[in-house]
Amino acid sequence: MSTNWTHPLERQTVGKAFISYLVPSVLGMLVIALNFIIDGIMVGHKLGSTAMAGIGIASPVYTLFVAMSLWIGMGGATLYSNHMGRKENQKAKEVFTKSIILISLATVVIGYTAFTFKDKLVYALGANADTFPFAADYMNIMLLFGFVFTIENALSVFVRNDGGPNTSMYAQITFAVANIVINFITLYVLEWGVRGVALGTIVSAALALLVLFSHFFKKSNNLTFTRFTWSTKLLGMIALIGFPSFLAELGMSVFSVSHNISMEQIGGTDGVASFTVLNYIHGVVLMAFLGLASAAQPLISYYHGAQRTERVQETIRIAVKTALTCGVVLLLVVQVGAPYFVQIFGNFNSSVTDRAVYGLRIFTIAYIFMGVNFVMSTYFQSIGNAKMAIWITAAREMIIMIALIAILPSFLGVTGVWLAVPLSEMLVLITIALYYRKRSVTERIGLLQAD
């Protein structure tokens, strides 16, 4: 690499840099989301609502592996960009090397340990006699081979932070297209059922990993493996900074499990199936917001490392405005199109369809607040304020949401289940506003005392 080389974020305006990361990040995430939707359509039409419910019950295992990859990937990549902003290239390479080795070892150990008590795990996640065979088939494959997509997911984050958002997008597109093709073959040609769906995910992740490897052959690449010594302090920093990302993904598992259990108690298998349909649609929105946050993260991390505070603040302003606009648009689209979206997944009985449509129209109120919460959590994580980032994530997806989903159904029935997330997102956004107000007052007092 030439000594005259400068990072693209040094040469571009904040607005241009944000767009250069936003477009590939969101497009890549939406393609992945489209893949999930098509998966749902194929499973729903070929195997029926019970199979969909089984996959929904087992999906927290997939989410847990993604959470692990983002825990190490985001923590490591944030430190990587901080070091690059400070022009500490060797330290950045050491962070990259340690992170990839760590995520590889951790997910292999977790997957094979969990496989030893897989049947008990399936029932613990909310399976019943109807859904157990489907959930077990999906989970077994994920536990044995999930390390493939954890490595791919973590590497994708590093490539994006190394100035390769387009390469990350190409890898995501490769994963999505390959997964659709392979799942069609395994479902409709080979008729392997849910097991084939899980295998398709693993093979597609392996192909995406090959695309990411192309980044190592670029002249601008800084991601090289290097010799290092294990540092407890550095590992602790990676774990702390990345922990909000782990919580965010783990929170999706908590979201799925808590809703599956609540809906199974209230509506049985039909209730779980209706939530699974909603979850497929909600997954598209989550991926869009995740793409937005992923676009902001490399900029904030780099600018923070370079001590360009004004650029950090400008990035946040742009990202928050974008999140609010997207939230309102998504809310309106889903409110109008809910019946049509649900019908895409199959000709279910009226109990499943009506519950899903009703749930969507209540649930999507959360989108007004959700995108902003995503951005603010990413902001605090990227500047090293792990405490606030952890609070935002834990409160919106666990603490407040679990409390609401435990209390509201007793008074409002199924409506209480659907209201838990919108109310949780709103309350968390209020706490962020209060935090900023308190910090602003503290800063003013400090200035007065200095005078």
447 domain-assigned: no
When divided into structural domains, the chain yields a total of 1
In a domain, 3, yes or no: no
CB-CB contact of 263 with 417 (8 Å): yes
Tell me the C-alpha distance between 121 and 295, whole Å. 35
Tell me 397's DSSP state.
Answer: I
Q: Do residues 100 and 119 make contact, with C-beta atoms less than 8 angstroms apart?
A: no
pLDDT of residue 449: 52
- The token duo for 190 is 């080979």
SS3 28: helix
Q: Give the range of the structural domain holding residue 257, as residue numbers without chain letter.
A: 11-387
Are 33 and 287 in contact by the 8 Å Cβ rule? The answer is: yes
pLDDT for the residue 263: 76
Tell me how far apart the alpha carbons of residues 90 and 94 are, in angstroms, rounded to a whole number: 6
HSE at residue 74, side-chain half, CA atoms within 13 A, is: 33
Count other C-beta atoms under 10 Å from residue 433's C-beta: 12
Q: Is residue 345 part of a domain?
A: yes
Task: List all residues 6 or more positions away from 437 whose beta carbon is below 8 Å from its beta carbon.
Answer: none
Can you say whether the dihedral through the CA atoms of 305, 307, 309, 311 is positive or negative?
negative
**Distance separating alpha carbons of residues 178 and 149, to the nearest angstrom:** 14
Residue 92 is encoded by which pair of tokens? 């950045």
330 contact partners, CB below 8 Å, separation of at least 6: 285, 288, 364, 367
253: nearest Cα among 397, 152, 414, 399: 397
| pLDDT digits (tens), the chain, 451 positions | 444 556 677 888 899 999 999 999 989 888 888 887 788 788 878 888 788 788 878 887 887 888 889 889 999 999 999 999 898 988 999 999 999 999 999 989 988 988 988 888 888 887 888 888 888 999 999 999 989 989 999 999 999 999 899 999 999 999 999 999 999 999 999 889 889 989 999 999 999 999 999 999 988 888 988 887 777 888 888 888 988 888 887 777 788 778 777 877 776 777 777 777 777 778 778 888 888 998 999 999 999 998 898 999 999 999 999 999 999 998 898 888 777 777 776 666 677 777 778 888 888 899 999 999 999 999 999 988 889 999 999 998 889 988 998 888 888 887 888 888 899 999 999 999 999 787 765 555 554 454 4
Q: Is residue 422 part of a domain?
A: no
Q: Is the Cβ–Cβ distance between 281 and 360 less than 8 Å?
A: yes
| Assigned token pair, 205 | 């992740």
DSSP string, 239-298: HHHHHHHHHHHHHHHHHHHHHHHHHHHHHHHHHHHHHHHHHHHHHHHHHHHHHHHHHHHH
Name the token pair of 418. 């659907």
- How much is the pLDDT for 448? 46
**In this structure, are residues 271 and 263 in contact, taking their beta carbons and an 8 Å threshold?**
yes
State the CB neighbour count (10 A cutoff) for residue 192: 16
* Element spanning 342, H or E: helix 309-343
248 near 376, Cβ under 8 Å? no
CB-facing half-sphere around the CA of 352: CA atoms within 13 A: 23
Q: Please, which residues have CB within 8 angstroms of residue 188's CB and are 6 or more apart in sequence?
A: 42, 46
Domain assignment present for residue 251? The answer is yes
Note the pLDDT of residue 47: 84
Confirm if 146 and 63 have CB atoms less than 8 A apart: no
Which structure tokens are listed for 358? 């009703």
Are residues 120 and 251 in contact, defined by beta-carbon separation less than 8 angstroms? no
Domain presence at residue 309: yes
* Phi/psi at 127 (5° precision): -75, 150
The sign of the CA dihedral 259, 261, 264, 267 is negative
Distance CA 269, CA 352 (A): 9
Any domain includes 6: no
Structure tokens at 292: 């937005």
Q: Is residue 405 part of a domain?
A: no
Does the model's pTM come out above 0.85? no
Helix (H, G, I), strand (E, B) or coil at 306: coil
CB-side neighbour CA atoms (13 Å) of 13: 4
